Amino acid sequence: MSMAEEMLQLARESRAASRILATLSAAVKNELLRNMAAALEGAAANLIAANEIDLTAARERDLAPAMLDRLALDQERIRGMADGLREVAALPDPVGEITGLVRRPNGLQVGRMRIPLGVIGIVYESRPNVTADAAGLCLKSGNAVILRGGSESLHSNTAIGAVLQGELTRLGLPRGALQVVTTADRNAILELLKLEEEIDLIIPRGGEGLIRFVAEHSRIPVIKHYKGVCHVFIDASADFAMAERICINAKVQRPGVCNAMETLLIHKDIAETFIPVIAAALQRQGVELRGCPIVREFAPGAAAATEADWGAEYLELILAVKVVDDLDDALAHINRYSSLHTEAIVTRDYANAQRFLREVGSSTVMVNASTRFADGNQLGLGAEIGISTTKLHAFGPMGLEELTTRKFIVLGDGQIRN
Amino acid sequence: MSMAEEMLQLARESRAASRILATLSAAVKNELLRNMAAALEGAAANLIAANEIDLTAARERDLAPAMLDRLALDQERIRGMADGLREVAALPDPVGEITGLVRRPNGLQVGRMRIPLGVIGIVYESRPNVTADAAGLCLKSGNAVILRGGSESLHSNTAIGAVLQGELTRLGLPRGALQVVTTADRNAILELLKLEEEIDLIIPRGGEGLIRFVAEHSRIPVIKHYKGVCHVFIDASADFAMAERICINAKVQRPGVCNAMETLLIHKDIAETFIPVIAAALQRQGVELRGCPIVREFAPGAAAATEADWGAEYLELILAVKVVDDLDDALAHINRYSSLHTEAIVTRDYANAQRFLREVGSSTVMVNASTRFADGNQLGLGAEIGISTTKLHAFGPMGLEELTTRKFIVLGDGQIRN
């Protein structure tokens, strides 16, 4: 069987399973997820052994220490996967919800029913825990899932997949509901990305390179999130203590993630008073500053920013800092350089807060809060399958609801159209 | 300037205009649409003259009479465009609506604000009225619009576009808000379809060929609706009079549209009693029947259906008819051959109605109503920009709300993340 035929058969099994998953009650799905959690914990020794094969090969290939760390499974990470599945089991089931049921003049009742998307493909890097996390969210929302992790994690993913599939079987559910692609051949991804009839959505999870690769080759809709170049704008009326607290948190608390601040904009009216304070505070935390000429005037330690700094996603303790004339100037800068991820304003001015909320085009817009809150858990989605920085289907952090769609339902008593 | 540069510049003007459109109040947008309506009526003589150039060229090229009819503009059609704009002006503005604003445990208020998509490209066939209809819906929902109609309607579209742009200018709004691509060169479409940074959504309006062409060449998300193979299932418990009324309406009232019935499924328990009645009724209306062997037993005038009939979108007075064993058999047939457009059940059985609603995977699912109701106006959306039969972003008829998305808004008082 060719790779194309193999992937088509696999995807068709997913499609068939998705029809059954779509009809499951929340109780059955929750039982499944809790059983999977227990089974992962029970199989910890096997999973760690399989992971050891991946780790040995990775060490032989001189993988970077950070990548080895992401690849590694231990008791704690396995418990983390299990806890994640139990948390998703505890979330409300979005499927079946009927909204907006109205009676039309001719007596027809028209509303919308929330339904699963169908079959979701997850393409990710060598982080075995994604296998369980993504599977839990897709299954809870009634979707079949096809999982294709990085080739370095193949043995780990295969072992995790086998444990999870075992629980499907025990409940009499089709194994096609959760499938792990167990070939290291990258053509498998390319073949999957062609199957627009069988797969409804592709979610790449990983770096910009992976996401661009998937987006360029896919005939299936792709949820994209290239990067996070998050801005914080300190308005003239800002409370300085609050502004400092938010800046430090947004930049320093976890600099390597997409919702960390990468550019700080400061209103020119407070340049002289605020820049010395915030520059010193950031530098005390080890942050390297790259500023515009006015910033450098008041923060002598700052290097000169170049054009490239305004669009940079550093993911480390480096910060671009710029003085802007006013809110309009800040909005223009943000709408030019933003990655549509998250932007925040610190202000005491009601009108400026309102304008910032309305006029910033990013997927999460904040007033007087740290950009670090931009994730599904913090925003109350309960869990996060990814973040979309394109506007179609979902915009911003995606939870269970974003793995569903709505169909129209029409309840009549014999109406015909005139 | 090359075609690629020309389209890039045009799309960038749209992007710039979209930022202004996103901030307009409903009052301004409604005034714009009403002014456009009046201007179209005032310019009727000019529009008809421009249309005459297109019609003359089309007659010389021996265009089919049906296509000439779609291409033609007269006083009545111009009034139709104007009335359409006034109707859209009267609809509620979806933009700015804030939903689900909740207070998180740390005091952050988190909700979602509805925003325009940004820039929408409409690619359509030679129906000049689409120029005004699509423009009205896009502008009312705060989006900039790029219109590219069939080359046969170039003069008509250019003239309509000039009238509409004139009203943008009169209100001090950017002309980039509405742009008509005024070249007959098909490469213009191909270049537009590459501009994923500048254009947020492409909506092709026309036949399956146009939609497939756009979908295959686009890097921008495309709303797809290939065809409508709508099924009606007559359950064993159906009221025969209601079933007949619905079948005749669904098949005969307007057979050439995508929500007309193309396949009739009949429960085997009523084959002997219902088929003779419905077959005669349909045949009286001039419908040609193509049936399975059991159907032909009770409807001698029916031809033998082949496999191709089960997936056919006839768009004329031909109907495929099949006897099914039970609801499960009907569901299996529908889920195999459906185009995910619209399916209906006629039944008096509560449980079967519920199962049909839940288990049919199409974008509109009906109980005891004619499939002809599956359009945006009939379902209460007020207007329709298209129908999506793929599940991402929108599924089913699309109105103003489906031309928008939602961003997260976060209102804090200095919160930072622990």
Question: What band does A301 get if pLDDT is binned at 50, 70 and 90?
Answer: very high
Rounded to a whole number, what is the distance in angstroms from the first to the last CA of chain A? 54
What does the CA dihedral A242, A244, A246, A250 come to, rounded to 10 degrees? 180
**Fold that domain B3-224+399-409 belongs to in CATH:** Aldehyde Dehydrogenase; Chain A, domain 1 (3.40.605)
The per-residue pLDDT for B173 is 98
| Per-residue DSSP letter, A222 | B
B208 to chain A, minimum CA–CA distance in Å? 16
Verify whether the Cβ–Cβ distance B408 to A396 is below 8 Å.
Answer: yes
Q: Look-up: residue for tokens 């400092």?
A: A244
B282 to chain A, minimum CA–CA distance in Å? 16
- Model pLDDT for residues B3-36, shown as the tens digit of each residue: 999 999 999 999 999 999 999 999 999 999 999 9
Verify whether the Cβ–Cβ distance B96 to A23 is below 8 Å.
Answer: no
Domain boundaries, chain A: 3-224+399-409, 230-373
Residues of chain B with Cβ-Cβ distance to A19 below 8 Å are 335, 359, 361
- Model pLDDT for residues B89-104, shown as the tens digit of each residue: 999 999 999 999 999 9
Considering all CA atoms of chain B, what is the largest pairwise distance in Å, rounded to the nearest integer?
Answer: 78
Verify whether the Cβ–Cβ distance A22 to B361 is below 8 Å.
Answer: yes
Beta-carbon pairs below 8 A across chains A and B? 209
CB proximity A369 to B under 8 Å:
yes
B53 to chain A, minimum CA–CA distance in Å? 36
The per-residue pLDDT for B207 is 85
Residues of chain A with Cβ-Cβ distance to B113 below 8 Å are 357-358, 365
Q: Are A167 and A32 in contact (CB under 8 A)?
A: yes
Residues of chain A with Cβ-Cβ distance to B368 below 8 Å are 411-415
Verify whether the Cβ–Cβ distance A221 to B412 is below 8 Å.
Answer: no
The per-residue pLDDT for A66 is 86
B412 to chain A, minimum CA–CA distance in Å? 5
Strand order in the sheet with A288-291: A303-304, A288-291, A318-324, A261-267, A230-234, A342-346, A364-369, B404-415, B109-116, B98-103
3-state secondary structure of A119: strand
| Per-residue DSSP letter, B63 | -
Q: Are B390 and B342 in contact (CB under 8 A)?
A: no
What the block records as the tokens of B299 is 């409807």
Q: Are A201 and B392 in contact (CB under 8 A)?
A: yes
Q: Rounded CA gap, B307 and A351, in Å?
A: 65
Q: Which residues on adjacent β-strands are paired with residue A111?
A: A409
Q: Rounded CA gap, B89 and B25, in Å?
A: 12
Percent of chain A with pLDDT over 70: 100
Who among B245, B379, B411 is closest to A367 (CB)?
A: B411
Verify whether the Cβ–Cβ distance B415 to A370 is below 8 Å.
Answer: yes
Q: Rounded CA gap, A352 and A330, in Å?
A: 11
Q: Rounded CA gap, A371 and A50, in Å?
A: 38
Q: Are B144 and B120 in contact (CB under 8 A)?
A: yes
- Model pLDDT for residues A247-291, shown as the tens digit of each residue: 999 999 999 999 999 999 999 999 999 999 999 999 999 999 999
CB proximity under 8 Å: B 207-226 to A = 221
Q: Estimate the crossing angle of helix B75-90 against helix B26-42, to 10 degrees.
A: 170
Of A404, A382, A403, A396, nearest to A225 (Cα)?
A396
Q: Are B368 and A411 in contact (CB under 8 A)?
A: yes
B366 to chain A, minimum CA–CA distance in Å? 5
Is the ipTM, as predicted for this complex, more than 0.85?
Answer: yes
3-state secondary structure of B169: helix
Q: Are A399 and A377 in contact (CB under 8 A)?
A: no
Verify whether the Cβ–Cβ distance A417 to B335 is below 8 Å.
Answer: no
Q: Rounded CA gap, B192 and B204, in Å?
A: 13
Q: What phi and psi values does residue B272 have, to the nearest 5 degrees? A: -70, -35
The per-residue pLDDT for A391 is 93
Residue A26 scores a pLDDT above 90: yes
Average pLDDT, chain A: 96
The per-residue pLDDT for A226 is 78
**Mutating which of A405, A406, A413, A418 best tests the B interface, going by the most B Cβ atoms within 10 A?**
A405
Q: What phi and psi values does residue B176 have, to the nearest 5 degrees? A: -60, -10
Residues of chain A with Cβ-Cβ distance to B248 below 8 Å are 416
List, as one string, the DSSP characters of A346-374. Answer: E-S-HHHHHHHHHH--SSEEEEEE-GGG-
Phi-psi region of B412 (alpha: psi -120 to 50; beta: other; left: phi over 0): beta
- Model pLDDT for residues B349-388, shown as the tens digit of each residue: 999 999 999 999 999 999 999 999 999 999 999 889 989 9
Verify whether the Cβ–Cβ distance A365 to B393 is below 8 Å.
Answer: no
CB proximity A372 to B under 8 Å:
yes
Residue B98 C-beta-side C-alpha neighbours within 13 Å: 13
Who among B370, B393, B406 is closest to A415 (CB)?
A: B370
Q: Pick the residue from chain A with its C-alpha nearest to B215.
A: A219
**Mutating which of B392, B398, B406 best tests the A interface, going by the most A Cβ atoms within 10 A?**
B392
- Model pLDDT for residues A374-393, shown as the tens digit of each residue: 999 999 998 899 899 999 99
Verify whether the Cβ–Cβ distance A23 to B221 is below 8 Å.
Answer: no
Angle subtended at Cα A410 by Cα B355 and Cα B269, rounded to the nearest 5 degrees = 45
- The b-or-e profile of A138-175 (16+ CB within 10 A means b, else e) is bbbbbbbbbbbbbbbbbbbbbbbbbbbbebbeeeebbe
Percent of chain A with pLDDT over 90: 91
Verify whether the Cβ–Cβ distance A374 to B408 is below 8 Å.
Answer: yes
Percent of chain B with pLDDT over 90: 91
Verify whether the Cβ–Cβ distance B417 to A392 is below 8 Å.
Answer: no
User: Rounded to an integer, what is the distance from CA B296 to the centroid of its chain?
Assistant: 36
Verify whether the Cβ–Cβ distance B253 to A358 is below 8 Å.
Answer: no
Q: What is the helix (H) or strand (E) element at residue B308, kind and residue range?
A: helix B307-310
Who among A201, A396, A410 is closest to B373 (CB)?
A: A410
Of A22, A408, A106, nearest to B367 (Cα)?
A408
CB proximity under 8 Å: B 237-266 to A = 239, 242, 245-246, 248-250, 253
Q: What phi and psi values does residue A92 have, to the nearest 5 degrees? A: -65, 145
Amino acid at A290: R
The per-residue pLDDT for A208 is 85
What the block records as the tokens of A273 is 């008073």
Cβ within 8 Å of residue B100, ≥6 positions away: B111, B112
Q: Estimate the crossing angle of helix B129-140 against helix B154-170, to 10 degrees.
A: 30
Residue A224 scores a pLDDT above 90: no
Q: Are A400 and A117 in contact (CB under 8 A)?
A: no
Amino acid at B123: V
Verify whether the Cβ–Cβ distance A417 to B392 is below 8 Å.
Answer: no
Q: Look-up: residue for tokens 């979701």?
A: A120
Q: Are B343 and B360 in contact (CB under 8 A)?
A: yes
Residue A1 scores a pLDDT above 90: no
Q: Rounded CA gap, B364 and B382, in Å?
A: 17
Q: Are A327 and A235 in contact (CB under 8 A)?
A: yes
Q: Rounded CA gap, B54 and A267, in Å?
A: 56
Q: Look-up: residue for tokens 């704009």?
A: B85
Question: What band does A314 get if pLDDT is binned at 50, 70 and 90?
Answer: very high
CB proximity A382 to B under 8 Å:
no
- Model pLDDT for residues B234-264, shown as the tens digit of each residue: 999 999 999 999 999 999 999 999 999 999 9
Residues of chain B with Cβ-Cβ distance to A362 below 8 Å are 407
Verify whether the Cβ–Cβ distance B415 to A368 is below 8 Å.
Answer: yes
The per-residue pLDDT for B186 is 87
CB proximity A410 to B under 8 Å:
yes
CB proximity B399 to A under 8 Å:
no
Residues of chain A with Cβ-Cβ distance to B249 below 8 Å are 416-417
Q: Which CATH superfamily is domain B230-373 in?
A: Aldehyde Dehydrogenase; Chain A, domain 2 (3.40.309.10)
Give the C-alpha distances (Å, rounded to integers) separating A292 from A188, A262, A263, A296, B70: 47, 14, 11, 6, 58
- Model pLDDT for residues A180-216, shown as the tens digit of each residue: 999 888 899 999 999 999 999 999 998 889 999 998 8
The per-residue pLDDT for B93 is 97
**Mutating which of B373, B403, B418 best tests the A interface, going by the most A Cβ atoms within 10 A?**
B373
The per-residue pLDDT for A383 is 86
List, as one string, the DSSP characters of A316-329. Answer: SSEEEEEEESSHHH
CB proximity under 8 Å: A 37-76 to B = none
Verify whether the Cβ–Cβ distance A113 to B357 is below 8 Å.
Answer: yes
Q: Rounded CA gap, A234 and A264, in Å?
A: 8
List, as one string, the DSSP characters of B87-156. Answer: HHHHSPP-TT-EEEEEE-TTS-EEEEEEEE-SEEEEEE-S-THHHHHHHHHHHHTT-EEEEE--GGGHHH
Considering all CA atoms of chain A, what is the largest pairwise distance in Å, rounded to the nearest integer?
Answer: 78
Residues of chain B with Cβ-Cβ distance to A348 below 8 Å are none
Verify whether the Cβ–Cβ distance B362 to A22 is below 8 Å.
Answer: no
The per-residue pLDDT for B184 is 84
CB proximity B23 to A under 8 Å:
yes
Verify whether the Cβ–Cβ distance A392 to B393 is below 8 Å.
Answer: yes
Residues of chain B with Cβ-Cβ distance to A21 below 8 Å are none
Verify whether the Cβ–Cβ distance B113 to A357 is below 8 Å.
Answer: yes
Verify whether the Cβ–Cβ distance B246 to A96 is below 8 Å.
Answer: no
Residues of chain B with Cβ-Cβ distance to A365 below 8 Å are 113, 407-410
The per-residue pLDDT for A227 is 86
The per-residue pLDDT for B252 is 97
Rounded to a whole number, what is the distance in angstroms from the first to the last CA of chain B? 54
